[in-house]
Structure 1
Amino acid sequence: MNELTGKVALVTGGGRGLGEAICRMLGTEGAIAIVADIREELAETIALEIQADGGKAKAMRLDVCDEHQVEIAVAEIVSEFGRLDILINNAGTDVTLPVDELTIAEWDRVLAVNLRAPFVLSKQVLPTMQQQKRGHIINIASTASKRAWANASAYHASKWGLLGFSHALHVEARPHGIKVTAVLAGGMQTPFILDRFPDTPLEKLQDPKNVADTIRYVLSQPEATVIPEVMVLPMQESSWP
């Protein structure tokens, strides 16, 4: 039996890009993919397509910045399926501006989605995972958590913070049998980059399916093994040596 068969997995930002690729991978591997996205129509489309391909999926509208919505969503999942095995904090955003042009509201929004939301979601799923004595939380970080470039100060701050949070949570969660992994993904062929930088050469970016496959590998490790951090780069990554 596949290691992921029957596992219940909540994926934020699951309606497109890397989130979509992760949800499709989970469906193929026999997991129940909870496709959560603030754009409910995108989540519905992906969930229906996973089901049409023989997988199991459920669409869910979720604003990760609303802690009340997060609390209700986690409670609904546990009530319906009796468990929650995997949380993948994938939802992310960015504002490409220099510091002197970046508004305080824009800064707050990037950190709310990229850093505060993973904390809130992790906090909500931990009691269930602790009761189960197992679970896996994956935080989608970035090469932006290791290096810096211009006009992305809020994004860098959020991703450096997310990497630190991931390692701190790893320390706290291990005694309860809960794994925590930070996935540092390099540039991908997703709307996150291509909508803002349409002239980016595709050969400089990786297929998000490749990153999803790395996540499959991380999730498939034996119970006695955890991978706290992994970096996945395109061969011609321009933001990494």
Structure 2
Amino acid sequence: MQILKDKNVLIVGATGSIGSKTAALLAGSGAHLFLAGRNKEQLQTVAAACKVSTERYFVLNDSQPDSINELKEKYFQQFATIDILINAAGIGIIKSMDTLDETDFLNTLQANLVVPFLLMKAFLPAMKATKTGLIINIPGVLGKVPMAGAAAYCASKYGLVGMMQSIREEVKRTDIRITNLFLGGVDSAFWDSIDLKVQRGKMIQAEEAAKAIWFLCQQPDSGVVSEMVLQPFNHQVI
């Protein structure tokens, strides 16, 4: 398995349930972390727990394209290369077409598809320069299987999958590896603002999702896990 000690890792969405627990696992494995997230206070808490200095985290405003450029600048002030990019950020809006409006739709596309595109523009060239690296995105199972009321979310996640598959074709003559992690329902803050009856006790725990990412980060350069599907054992929608 790949040794994570001294690997340079960027985690976007480090303040979320999955991102923060992934950061803890990678820090414990000796990786050098750079963390990005929306919430400054939560980001400071995660950074402190992972012993990440103030120079190595960045408060991201994902509604502003220039924020990704600032992240890139600050990252490369700290690290000359990037070994692993983990995108654990995103938003979830679950509404029927009767209540879904244009703002909801565009905000979902911005967070779940445009931001990953901008991350690729910012960090893929550095991986191309070394012809190596690992990129992990989390489309979730709704990037593979549609659900009623998830038109905006599925559109963004299906788009993310297609974009990353296309990029994989562009870099297939290098050792840059791309993995899509299709998670089923995860018991996280994602569900706090969603009006849908679910059994959160039957969902995947955020710790287990983080362990899946940690596992993917340790796979050898000689192969790639193109996709992983991790779902709850039991049905969780009431």
TM-score relative to the length of structure 1:
0.90
Q: Distance in 1 between matches of 2:187 and 2:134?
A: 26
Letter in 2 for 1:23: A
Look up the SS of the partner of 1:175 in the other structure. Answer: coil
Matched with 1:90 is 88
Q: Distance in 2 between matches of 1:25 and 1:131?
A: 28
Partner letter of residue 79 of structure 2? F
Q: Does 1:104 align with 2:122?
A: no
Cα offset for 1:171?
Answer: 1.6
Structure 1 position 65 matched with structure 2 position 63:
yes
Identity of aligned residues (%): 28
> How far has the Cα of 1:198 moved from its partner?
8.6
Equivalent residues of 1:186, 1:237 under 8 A apart:
no
Count of residue pairs brought into register by the alignment: 236
Q: Which runs of 4+ in 1 moved over 4 A?
A: none
Go from structure 1 to structure 2 and tell me whether the alpha carbon gap of 1:215 and 1:237 turns closer, same or farther (over 3 Å shift).
farther
Which residue identity lines up with residue 102 of structure 1 in the other structure?
L
Partner SS for 2:93:
coil
Structure 2 residue runs of 5 or longer lacking an equivalent are none
Alignment RMSD: 2.0
**1:39 correspondence with 2:35:** no
Per the alignment, do residues 49 and 185 of structure 1 end up closer, same or farther by CA in structure 2, a change over 3 Å counting?
same
Matched, 1:226 2:227: no
Number of the residue aligned with 1:30: 30
Higher relative contact order (CA 8 A, sep 6+): 2
Question: What is the TM-score normalised by the length of structure 2?
Answer: 0.91
Q: How many angstroms apart in 1 are the aligned matches of 2:24 and 2:53?
A: 10
Q: C-alpha displacement at 1:62, in angstroms?
A: 0.9
Q: Residue 115 of structure 1 aligns with which residue?
A: 113
Helix, strand or coil at the partner of 1:137 = strand
Question: Which letter does structure 2 place at the counterpart of 1:3?
Answer: I
| Equivalent in the alignment of 1:159 | 157
Extract unaligned runs of 5+ from structure 1. Answer: none
Q: Quote how far apart the aligned CAs of 1:63 are.
A: 1.8
Tell me, in whole angstroms, the C-alpha distance in 2 between the residues paired with 1:44 and 1:11. Answer: 14
Deviations 1:111-159 (A, max 9, x none): 1100111111011101111112211111111110122222211001111
Q: Shift of residue 170 of structure 1?
A: 1.5
- CA shift for structure 1 position 238: 3.8
